[in-house]
Structure 1
Amino acid sequence: MENIDVIILAGAMVLFIGLLLGTLSPRVGVPTLLAFLAVGIAAGEDGIGKIQFEDVDTVFLISNLALAIILLDGGLRTRLEHFRVALKPALTLATLGVVLPAALTGAFATWLLGVDWRIGLLVGGIIGSTDAAAVFSMIRSSGVRLNERVSSTLEMESGLNDPMAIFITVMLIELITNPAMSWGLQTLGMLVQQFGVGVLMGILLGIALAELLVRVRGNEGLHALLLCTGGLTIWALANMLGGSGFLAAYIAGLMAGNWRQGTSDNVLRSMDSMAWLSQSGLFLMLGLLVTPREMLESLVPGLCIAAFLMLVARPLATWLLLKPFNYPKSEQIFIAWTGLRGAVPVVLAVFPLVAGIEESRQIFNIVFVVVMASLLLQGMTLGPLARTLKLALPHAAQPINEVELAGLDDRFIVQYAVGADSKADGRSLDLIPPTTQLLALSRAGAPLECDDHTTLQAGDILTLMTTPADQTPMSEWLHASPQELRTFYGDFIVNSSVPVADLLDNYGLSGVSERDASLTLEQYFQEHHRGQPVLGDAVELVGLRLRARVIEGGRVTRFGIRLPHAH
């Protein structure tokens, strides 16, 4: 009994310290996931905890379960409307975007380490995919708000590319342990089976789970537990049928999060706790598995492979694969740099350990170094890079509560807090668009009677019935400063139906063709902008800059105008 108490005490203390440091790490600019790894290493056999932990089978089991929950949570937070913007490029990156970096990095690892080409390719395959847990976590904690095209591409890619990395890893392990294995149509059939069964199971069982949850909606704490256990059931069934359980879990979350009215904010908060518990436990356990003395021997080759992956393989693959989709160069650079490696590569590095491959410990240590380098170098520079490349949208207030209204299309009730020094701070209620209705205003915990002279103050809580079109600009007004909004969007806002000729006449500008002058701003934008527009996209108009300010149904309805003197 005493041994059980000691084990529980040690495990609880390690997890508690990891979670505590995880909450503090963003304040000092350190990725949260690294805090968990550091605590796990410190508690391990070479650290102050001196915990002996070598049970790779337990690591394999628990890490797979944790990744399934993390991917389920990621799917819950992905909106289906993002697919119209990023599905094709994300699928390309999730397939060829894994194969190309894996092949290039594998060839480099073979040359650098002087190992058999199969071992080198195995290293490349293991680190070939980006990690959903790392991407979801680091984007949210980077302090920047990315446009929909970039954020959707990164999140969908990281949620969809695990099956390809797992397939490459399993195939290479089979080739190493069974050199007589034949390749060809059988291998292609296994790949199609992995993706096909995973997608089919995710859609069908995800819809069934979502429908079940709608019918038993009530206790939201129980709702989150049902989501987790249902998602794990789908993950296991897909694996048993030869499909990708991880892909099935992500798509099941996508279905549950978008079916009918989706999941409430309270359920998402509960799921957020589940995902954090999974992430923290996973990284702590992986940290315990690391032996720093052995890892030091792999430090130099691991850093060389990480540098090749981050600076050569991933950027080259991203440039080749995103070129047909007309992504701006700044977005290509950012997506290439945000190829974060996290839990998935380390978990895949456990596969050779379980398979008993001779070089498995070296592979694990190298992969661990690559992941550490990725989280440190790439994770800590996401925010500054986004701002340098001018990809960061103005800060926006996060809803305190948000409820969709049954029977009223595109209408929902939302609560916001007025941010200090925001555009709304000190402004009158005429800031609220006419298509949004103010339901209540509270200040210092008490309701406030409103009239024409009421002004908003920092900390006020607004309860509104609004539309998606109004929500985005309002969330920015309630958080971002006037200077930040003016710097990004420009001096004025105009409707997209305004003729180009009228706008130029108003500012005394000329120099466009007769045809361009006859167009509306929306038509001019469509002709000079490639691809699906997202918030923040811009085109130039003889000294004026038109930046998409409001988008409804895939169309820009309002533009921010930056005047020539603002350049």
Structure 2
Amino acid sequence: MNQANEILFIASLLVLVSIFAGSASSRFGVPFLLVFLGLGLLAGEGGPGGIVFNDYQLTYSVGSAALGIILFDGGLRTHFSTVRLVVAPAFVLATVGVVVTAGLVGVAAHYALGLGLLESFLVGAIVGSTDAAAVFFLLNMKGLALQKRVSGTLEVESGINDPMAIFLTLMAVELLRHGQPPDTLQLVAQFLVEMVGGLMVGVAGGFLLVALFNRVPVAGGLYPIVAMAAALLIFSGAYFLHASGYVAVYVAGLVLGNRRHRGAQVILRFYDGLSWLSQIVMFLLLGLLMTPDQMKPYLAGSGVVAGILIVLARPVAVLLCLVPFRYSFREIGFISWIGLRGAVPIFLATIPVLAKLPNSDVYVTAAFVCVLASLTLQGWTIAPVARFFGLELPPKPEAVSRTELDLGSTADRDVASYRVEADAPALGYRFTEIPLPRRSRIITVIRDGTVMDRLKLDHLETGDYILVLAPAEQFFSLDRLFTSRETSKRRKKRDRGEEVFGEFVLTGDTLLGEVALLYGLPVEEKDRGEPVGSYMRRRLRHRAVVGDRVRWGPVELVAREIRKDRVTSIGIELEPEEHPIWRGFRRAFGFD
């Protein structure tokens, strides 16, 4: 009993300290995950905490479940439109990219760590994939608004590339254990079965969950519990069918998150907290598992491996995989740098430990150093690198005082609750003349705790609570109607957004000849009648996304708004700022 209380006390204390230490360190830009990992090290055997923990099996099991929850949460928050935009390049990165990365890192490990070729390839396989937990977490925590193609590629790649890394790791472990080369066709077939099987299990599980939520009523507080149990069931059940549990749980979350169902809002809120807890537990356990004394002999060599992974292997893999899909040099540069490693490499490093292979300490140390270097160098510099490559969009709007109420899957409109803020535009209208969006309606007004008679209401007042029935796509317009006009802080953000999107704005239907005459730009006679939006699409050679840039003589065109794959609003940056290094690359290699 005393031992159980001690474990509970220490675990609770570590979680609480991690949360508050992470919040404090974020003021200095330190990635939360790095703080969690560092606290685990300090609490462990080699730190002042002195906690002896060497249970690799428990770490692998708990970490796998936590990663499954994080992947499910990532799927819930990913839109189908994003997946459709990037699925092909993300899949190539998640397969071919992992193999290329593993091979190049393996060569580095052979010389830096003095391992045999197969053992070196095992090191490459262990650190070959990006980490979904780190990518989802750090991109969102940094509050960045990135081009959809860039953020979508990183998120989808990290959600589906673990099976390839696991496959290569298990293959190398089996070769080292038995020494016989595997049947190539059998290996390829096994990998395809895992990927396709995971996809099928995920799709089936996601649609079953949607049907379950919509047809079987349960208490409101049980929806997130059902979702959690179902996610873990899909994750673990996929392995009984020899399919990838990581792909299955991510796809299941994707299906559930993009279909209307009961309990949607409460599930999202619950998973937000659960994902945080999973991150904390995962990285605390990994920190506790590391023993500095065992890692010392291999730290220098592992540092070389980490350096090669970050500055050579990842960029080469991204370049080879994304050039055929016509990604710009800026996009390739950013995706190359944000190849975040997190918990997965350390989990994979426990496989040779559990298989009792020689040099297990080398694998664990190399994985740990690569993760530490990635979180420190890459995780700490996400925002500056995004600005360097010109991929950061204007900041997302500040949160508004809106609460959505779930009406279930059969309703074609949702109910939202607003608190009317001071200086809100709606205050300037008579109640019956408020310009509500199409198919939107105020159903209740509550003032000082009393429900007001709408027929006798003349104006709304600051502090009123209102319930609005509206289609989900109209909530952005309603946000602007019932929340305060721009404060000085928002104005600064808006001004920064205007700089990002250019000094002047024109519609996508404006003709090239008109713009060329107005700004003195070069244009061929045959192109004068072409709309600027069509010109941007032609120059981009891929589906346009907000923030895409096209050079036109001395100016730069910036896509401000996209509707049905058409560039409908375009900014003109008359004097585009260009970093000297980027300008040198562009001139040297002819990139637009």
Taking structure 1 as the reference length, the TM-score comes to 0.88
Structure 2 SS opposite 1:392:
coil
Contact 2:223 2:266 in 1 (8 A): no
Contact 2:394 2:500 in 1 (8 A): yes
> Is 1:520 equivalent to 2:531 in the alignment?
yes
Contact 2:393 2:497 in 1 (8 A): no
Deviations 1:171-224 (A, max 9, x none): 111111111353322211211111121111111122111221233466443211
Structure 1 SS opposite 2:67:
helix
> Is 1:227 equivalent to 2:227 in the alignment?
yes
Distance of 1:443 and 1:144 partners within structure 2: 37
Contact 1:298 1:369 in 2 (8 A): no
Contact 2:105 2:305 in 1 (8 A): yes
Evaluate the alpha carbon distance shift between residue 178 and residue 552 of structure 1 in structure 2; reply closer, same or farther with a 3 A threshold. same
Structure 1 SS opposite 2:193:
helix
Aligned to 1:343: 343
Aligned to 1:251: 251
Evaluate the alpha carbon distance shift between residue 344 and residue 462 of structure 1 in structure 2; reply closer, same or farther with a 3 A threshold. farther
Evaluate the alpha carbon distance shift between residue 86 and residue 445 of structure 1 in structure 2; reply closer, same or farther with a 3 A threshold. farther
Aligned to 2:501: 489
Structure 1 SS opposite 2:327:
coil
Aligned to 2:275: 275
Matches within 5 A, 1:536-551: 536-541=547-552, 545-551=556-562
Distance of 2:101 and 2:4 partners within structure 1: 45
Considering only aligned residues, what root-mean-square deviation do their CA atoms show, in Å?
A: 3.8
Aligned to 2:568: 557
Structure 2 SS opposite 1:298:
helix
Evaluate the alpha carbon distance shift between residue 309 and residue 472 of structure 1 in structure 2; reply closer, same or farther with a 3 A threshold. farther
Distance of 1:467 and 1:119 partners within structure 2: 53
Deviations 1:252-278 (A, max 9, x none): 111111123586333212101111111
Q: 1:277 is matched by which residue type in structure 2? A: L
Aligned to 1:328: 328
Distance of 1:29 and 1:442 partners within structure 2: 42
Aligned to 1:183: 183
Evaluate the alpha carbon distance shift between residue 98 and residue 419 of structure 1 in structure 2; reply closer, same or farther with a 3 A threshold. farther
Matches within 5 A, 1:191-340: 191-216=191-216, 219-260=219-260, 264-340=264-340
Distance of 1:497 and 1:462 partners within structure 2: 39
Distance of 2:525 and 2:318 partners within structure 1: 39
Distance of 2:356 and 2:264 partners within structure 1: 45
Structure 1 SS opposite 2:561:
strand
Structure 2 SS opposite 1:41:
helix
Q: Which runs of 5+ in 2 are unaligned?
A: 579-592
Contact 1:303 1:370 in 2 (8 A): yes
Contact 1:425 1:456 in 2 (8 A): no
Contact 1:428 1:455 in 2 (8 A): no
Distance of 1:252 and 1:57 partners within structure 2: 27
Worse-superposed segment, 152-161 or 529-538: 529-538
Residue 297 of structure 1, CA deviation: 2.5
Contact 2:533 2:567 in 1 (8 A): yes
Contact 1:126 1:169 in 2 (8 A): yes
Matches within 5 A, 1:349-498: 349-397=349-397, 398=399, 400-402=402-404, 468=473, 471=476, 479=490, 481-498=493-510
Contact 1:428 1:456 in 2 (8 A): no
Distance of 1:73 and 1:191 partners within structure 2: 25
Evaluate the alpha carbon distance shift between residue 96 and residue 536 of structure 1 in structure 2; reply closer, same or farther with a 3 A threshold. same
Distance of 1:262 and 1:52 partners within structure 2: 45
Distance of 2:78 and 2:36 partners within structure 1: 26
Q: 1:515 is matched by which residue type in structure 2? A: K
Deviations 1:542-567 (A, max 9, x none): 65543222222222222234456999
Distance of 1:470 and 1:413 partners within structure 2: 10
Residue 159 of structure 1, CA deviation: 0.2
Distance of 2:368 and 2:448 partners within structure 1: 49
Q: Which runs of 5+ in 1 are unaligned?
A: none
Worse-superposed segment, 240-249 or 122-131: 240-249
Evaluate the alpha carbon distance shift between residue 407 and residue 52 of structure 1 in structure 2; reply closer, same or farther with a 3 A threshold. closer
Distance of 2:240 and 2:351 partners within structure 1: 18
Residue 281 of structure 1, CA deviation: 0.7
Contact 2:113 2:298 in 1 (8 A): no
Distance of 1:443 and 1:542 partners within structure 2: 58
Aligned to 1:140: 140
Contact 1:68 1:232 in 2 (8 A): yes
Distance of 2:566 and 2:218 partners within structure 1: 37
Q: 2:559 is matched by which residue type in structure 1? A: A
Aligned to 1:534: 545
Structure 2 SS opposite 1:393:
coil
Deviations 1:421-441 (A, max 9, x none): xx99999899x9977979699
Structure 1 SS opposite 2:550:
strand
Contact 1:436 1:467 in 2 (8 A): no
Contact 2:163 2:244 in 1 (8 A): yes
Residue 54 of structure 1, CA deviation: 1.3
Residue 378 of structure 1, CA deviation: 0.5
Contact 1:206 1:252 in 2 (8 A): yes
Distance of 2:567 and 2:371 partners within structure 1: 40
Distance of 1:555 and 1:464 partners within structure 2: 30
Distance of 2:577 and 2:289 partners within structure 1: 55
Aligned to 1:164: 164
Deviations 1:424-466 (A, max 9, x none): 9999899x997797969999999999x9x99999xx9997957
Contact 1:221 1:267 in 2 (8 A): no
Worse-superposed segment, 43-52 or 97-106: 43-52
Structure 1 SS opposite 2:346:
helix
Q: 1:379 is matched by which residue type in structure 2? A: G
Q: 2:295 is matched by which residue type in structure 1? A: M
Worse-superposed segment, 322-331 or 464-473: 464-473
Structure 1 SS opposite 2:341:
coil
Worse-superposed segment, 532-541 or 359-368: 532-541
> Is 1:107 equivalent to 2:107 in the alignment?
yes
Distance of 2:212 and 2:311 partners within structure 1: 46
Residue 4 of structure 1, CA deviation: 1.8
Distance of 1:470 and 1:419 partners within structure 2: 16
Contact 2:516 2:523 in 1 (8 A): no
Contact 1:493 1:558 in 2 (8 A): yes
Evaluate the alpha carbon distance shift between residue 218 and residue 40 of structure 1 in structure 2; reply closer, same or farther with a 3 A threshold. same
Residue 401 of structure 1, CA deviation: 3.8
Q: 1:165 is matched by which residue type in structure 2? A: A
Residue 490 of structure 1, CA deviation: 2.5
Distance of 2:113 and 2:299 partners within structure 1: 12
Evaluate the alpha carbon distance shift between residue 172 and residue 50 of structure 1 in structure 2; reply closer, same or farther with a 3 A threshold. same
Contact 1:436 1:470 in 2 (8 A): no
Contact 1:221 1:270 in 2 (8 A): no
Worse-superposed segment, 90-99 or 24-33: 24-33
Contact 1:326 1:530 in 2 (8 A): yes
Evaluate the alpha carbon distance shift between residue 564 and residue 278 of structure 1 in structure 2; reply closer, same or farther with a 3 A threshold. closer
Contact 2:102 2:128 in 1 (8 A): yes
User: Share of identical aligned residues, percent?
Assistant: 36
Evaluate the alpha carbon distance shift between residue 20 and residue 564 of structure 1 in structure 2; reply closer, same or farther with a 3 A threshold. closer
